[in-house]
Structure 1
Amino acid sequence: MSAAENPALWAFLEQLRAGQRLAGTVASIESFGVFVALDEGPDHPVFPGVGFITFPELSWRRFEEASEVVEVGQRVYCEFLQFDTWNGEARLSLRATRPDPILRFFDGTAVGQRLTGQVTKVLPFGVFVQVAEGIEGLVRLPGLSSDPTKPAEDVVRVGEEITVVVTDIDRERHRLSLSLRATT
């Protein structure tokens, strides 16, 4: 029996509204997301829970495994995002119930400000620098060296601590642009 053929489930999901807070218990952690058995919801005829949280909606911080954020049997309070009519489930967000750390960081940061951080990744187009707990910014190649053809790995190394200057803060896209050149 599919979710679409379950009138109690369908009626429950249709009455939910975006932004509504829901409570439940983590029923299963899968390689594609987390199922939540909702307190107020009926059982799902196919999945271990009526609620589902995709990995990006689990946490503001980066993680490798969902088990770093939640565990089976844990009580969670989530925000309802949308009714997934294909799977007959409530798409949920755990991170929406917590303050966004990058926006709080941006509130205390200004363009032109110097920051010290650790290089976390060196890529062909630039480097990522962690400037606060869970907050990374990007130094693009032109901001690394006066020689734009010089590979990033010839300028800095992963783990190296460097001083950078904030060149742009994009609150909407959650992006922090940095420059190493502006510090010299």
Structure 2
Amino acid sequence: MVGPSENPELWAFLESLRCGELLSGTVTAIERFGVFVALDDGPDHPVFPGVGFITIPELSWRRFEAASDVVHAGQRVSCEFLQFDTWNAEARLSMRATQPDPFQAFADHTAVGQELQGQVTKLLRFGVFVQVADGIEGLVHLRELTWPPVEAPEDIFQVGDEVTVVVTEIDRERRRLSLSRRQVSPALQ
């Protein structure tokens, strides 16, 4: 697309960046596939509205519907440099890398077997998601909803229902929380 011979200044800048380096800039465009950032110390990009690019997953640790829920055009941002994307001649960036992971902090203070209060956020054919802390959701699999098992979560729950759940697994690496309604003490159900 944009090779080193067509734009030596851009390539020299991108090659000078190191993984983990903190960079700042301004959001120039929000697309469905990510966010373009004009970096403070970087040159202009000949094709894109910024030499920096943040993919959707790298915007935030928290779940969100659209990139515009996290950033807006003209916003100043601080990002960590991930890699030089030589195909697009851009700096791949991460905003979430500059923020503590709320899941890890939650896992530090939560144990398997612990009972938590939460709110049903999503009903799926295989179970329900329950938010148990700010930005922390876990899955109650269909087989862990009730005894005897039900065929459809919507037969028992609605989005917004307050429920008590038991932590059955905390997977730090995959950032997944497994929960159960069946294992809750009968007095709390």
TM range (shorter): over 0.9
Q: Which runs of 5+ in 1 are unaligned?
A: none
TM-score (norm 2): 0.93
Equivalent position SS for 1:14: helix
Match of 2:100 in 1: 99
Aligned-pair CA distance for 1:151 = 1.8
- Size of the aligned set, in residue pairs, is 183
How far apart, in 2, do the equivalents of 1:8 and 1:180 lie? Answer: 59
Which runs of at least 4 in structure 1 moved beyond 4 Å after TM superposition?
none
Does the 8 A contact of 1:144 with 1:155 survive in 2?
Answer: no
Does the 8 A contact of 1:117 with 1:130 survive in 2?
Answer: yes
Task: Name the amino acid aligned to 2:103.
Answer: I
Identity across matched positions, percent: 71
How far apart, in 2, do the equivalents of 1:24 and 1:128 lie? Answer: 36
Equivalent position SS for 1:182: coil
Matches within 5 A, 1:163-182: 163-182=164-183
Matches within 5 A, 1:144-183: 144-183=145-184
Matches within 5 A, 1:1-184: 2-4=1-3, 5-183=6-184, 184=186
How far apart, in 2, do the equivalents of 1:175 and 1:133 lie? Answer: 15
Equivalent position SS for 1:72: coil
- String of CA shifts for 1:118-142, please: whole Å, max 9, x gaps: 1111111110001111110000011
Task: Name the amino acid aligned to 2:95.
Answer: L
Root-mean-square deviation over aligned CA pairs: 1.1
How far apart, in 2, do the equivalents of 1:147 and 1:62 lie? Answer: 32
Equivalent position SS for 2:183: helix
Q: Which runs of 5+ in 2 are unaligned?
A: none
How far apart, in 2, do the equivalents of 1:81 and 1:26 lie? Answer: 17
